């Protein structure tokens, strides 16, 4: 995530919704990710949260008024919009959406939105009837037509006690949407990327399974990178600790055979297949439908091999499709990866070192090498998974 926010300036408009409490965490997460955050509070926003709170979280003065201020800070809306890489309004009320759609500039934030030159992202938060009102829907449609981005709202129980769409998106979703809006280069637009991610759990009995330590972080980084570059992304994910980005289509599976079926079903519609999952090579031949009882006798589990998803997909490959694999190795990673690249008929393979102190499994970074069928061989020592995802797509785009 850092790669999308590092050194970026985000102007965060906060309007009068009870969802302002999520804005606090949003500011703090964006700063952690390396962004400079400037907050602008509307008058009703300032009824919900004290500028001092946002000032402390953002490390910057909070803009509250167009002329003369309660806090003593006046910041030109033109200068600020020129500095901003992204203008995000979270929470965004029906009122600010209406003003933005109609071009009304009657306070600092609405005027800044009129002067905007950077991408604009709204996270609506309001009562269901306000959200579904024809006027609000028409304003949203008009803003979308002009290229404005939206995230949420989600359905659920609202602060007013009613149920329905209107809850502001949660912080991880807000960050993903901001990352997408912050990424100008859409060089994967119109491409469909299918990614396998995470571990497999192979049942032993009703309670136990065989699993592995894959976290799903690499699959998540690949999916987010592809989404930010404009691709349509589907992630077939095992039970990972890091769930895939919400903007991706997510197919949740447990076993290697479920993953295999999900991939083969979607294979004809994809342009790029990336096998980032740590697929279980074996499964229990006959899992016990009950719970195996403890005994003092040694026990043998009878394992049978699972299908090799990538190799079988490669056999069905159509012209123009590109397939990428990963090779997690404890030693001789590059040689073993090159052998797998050829055996599985892949276009690219990414070798990772596992085991030891610099183990890539579960970690945010690791030693990696990108090898392509065309002869590219590049080493990336201790590279962050998000950065590695960028390099993988850079090679695919240029190759
Ligand atoms: O396990 P192995 O080192 O052969 O994995 C190499 C690549 O093949 C990885 O991308 C992995 O996701 C994929 N794979 C697969 N089906 C398997 C085993 C591995 O798609 N049964």
Confidence of residue 72 (pLDDT cuts 50, 70, 90): very low
* Segment among 219-233, 273-287, 356-370 with least mean pLDDT: 356-370
Q: Give the mean model confidence (pLDDT) for residues 72-94.
A: 85
Give me the active site residues, please: 160
Q: How far is Cα 346 from Cα 159, in angstroms, rounded to an integer?
A: 52
User: 278 C-alpha vs ligand 1 centroid, how far in Å?
Assistant: 7
Residue nearest to atom 3 of ligand 1 (CA): 327
Q: Work out the percent of the chain whose per-residue pLDDT is above 90.
A: 82
5 preceded by cis ω (within 30°)? no
Query: Domain coordinates of the chain in residue numbers?
Result: 2-182, 192-290+299-398
Paired sense of beta strands 322-329 and 272-275, if any: parallel
- Domain 2-182 and domain 192-290+299-398 have a common topology: yes
Q: Give 269-321 pLDDT, tens digit per residue.
A: 999 999 999 999 999 999 999 999 999 999 999 999 999 999 999 999 999 99
Mean pLDDT within 46-64: 94
Token pair for 229: 């570059």
pLDDT digits (tens, 9 = 90+) for 234-265: 999 999 998 889 999 999 999 999 999 999 99
**What pTM did the predictor assign?**
0.89
Pocket test for ligand 1, best of 262, 267, 322, 325 (most atoms within 8 A of CB): 325
Whether the predicted pLDDT of 70 surpasses 80:
no
In CATH, the architecture of 2-182 is 3-Layer(aba) Sandwich (3.40)
Q: Which pair of tokens denotes residue 309?
A: 């998803």
Domain spanning 192-290+299-398 has what CATH number? 3.40.50.10300
pLDDT at residue 164, rounded to an integer: 84
Q: Specify the higher pLDDT residue, 190 or 353.
A: 190
Is residue 354 very low, low, confident or very high in pLDDT (cuts 50, 70, 90)?
Answer: confident
Supply 213's token pair.
Answer: 């330590």
Kindly give the distance from the C-alpha atom of residue 375 to the centroid of ligand 1, in angstroms, as a whole number: 21
Alpha-carbon distance 33 to 52, whole Å?
A: 22
- Judged against a pLDDT cut of 50, whether residue 133 lies above it is answered with yes
Chain mean pLDDT for the chain: 93
Q: Is the CB of 325 under 6 A from ligand 1?
A: yes
Stretch (H or E) spanning 154: strand 154-157
Residue 177 in this model has a pLDDT that exceeds 90: yes
- Within 10 angstroms of residue 253's Cβ, the number of other Cβ atoms is 21
Q: What is the CA radius of gyration of the chain?
A: 24
User: How many Å lie between the centroid of ligand 1 and the Cα of residue 288?
Assistant: 26
Q: How far is the CA of 172 from the centre of ligand 1 (A)?
A: 29
Mean pLDDT of 374-379: 90
Give the whole-number percent of the chain exceeding pLDDT 70. Answer: 96
- Report the residue among 275, 305, 317, 336 best suited for mutation to probe ligand 1: largest number of ligand atoms under 8 A from its CB: 275
Q: What is the pLDDT of residue 280?
A: 97
Q: What ranges make up the beta strands (E) of 293-376?
A: 303-305, 322-329, 348-353, 365-372
């Amino acid at each position: 995530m850092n790669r999308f926010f590092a050194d970026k300036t985000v102007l965060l408009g906060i309007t009068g919704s009870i969802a302002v409490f999520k804005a606090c965490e949003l500011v703090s997460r964006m700063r952690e990710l390396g962004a400079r955050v400037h907050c602008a509070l509307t008058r009703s926003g300032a009824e919900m949260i004290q500028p001092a709170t946002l000032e402390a979280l953002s490390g910057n003065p909070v803009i509250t008024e167009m002329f003369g201020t309660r806090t003593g800070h006046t910041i030109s809306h033109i200068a600020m919009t020129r500095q901003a890489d992204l203008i995000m309004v979270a929470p965004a009320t029906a009122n600010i959406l209406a003003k933005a759609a109609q071009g009304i500039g009657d306070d600092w934030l609405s005027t800044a939105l009129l002067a905007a030159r950077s991408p604009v992202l709204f996270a609506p938060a309001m009562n269901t009837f306000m959200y579904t009102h024809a006027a609000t829907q028409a304003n949203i449609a008009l803003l979308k037509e002009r290229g404005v981005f939206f995230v949420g709202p989600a359905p659920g129980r609202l602060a007013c006690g009613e149920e329905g769409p209107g809850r502001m998106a949660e912080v991880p979703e807000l960050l993903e949407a901001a990352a997408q809006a912050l990424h100008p280069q859409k060089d994967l637009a119109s491409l469909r990327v299918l990614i396998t991610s995470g571990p497999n759990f192979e049942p032993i009995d009703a309670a136990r399974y065989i699993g592995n330590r894959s976290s799903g972080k690499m699959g998540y980084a690949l999916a987010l990178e592809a989404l930010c570059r404009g691709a349509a992304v589907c992630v077939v994910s095992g039970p990972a600790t890091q769930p895939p980005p919400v903007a991706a289509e997510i197919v949740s599976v447990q076993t290697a055979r479920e993953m295999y079926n999900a991939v083969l079903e979607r294979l004809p519609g994809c342009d790029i297949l990336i096998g980032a999952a740590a697929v279980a090579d074996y499964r229990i031949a006959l899992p016990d439908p009950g719970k195996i009882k403890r005994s003092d006798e040694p026990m043998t589990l009878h394992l049978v091999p699972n299908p090799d998803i990538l190799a079988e997909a490669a056999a069905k490959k159509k012209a123009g499709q590109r397939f990428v694999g990963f090779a997690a190795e404890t030693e001789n990673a590059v040689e073993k990866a090159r052998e797998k690249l050829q055996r599985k008929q892949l276009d690219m393979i990414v070798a990772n070192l596992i085991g030891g102190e610099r183990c890539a499994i579960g970690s945010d970074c690791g030693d990696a090498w990108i090898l392509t069928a065309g002869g590219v061989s590049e080493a990336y020592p201790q590279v962050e998974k998000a950065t590695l995802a960028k390099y993988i797509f850079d090679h695919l785009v240029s190759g």
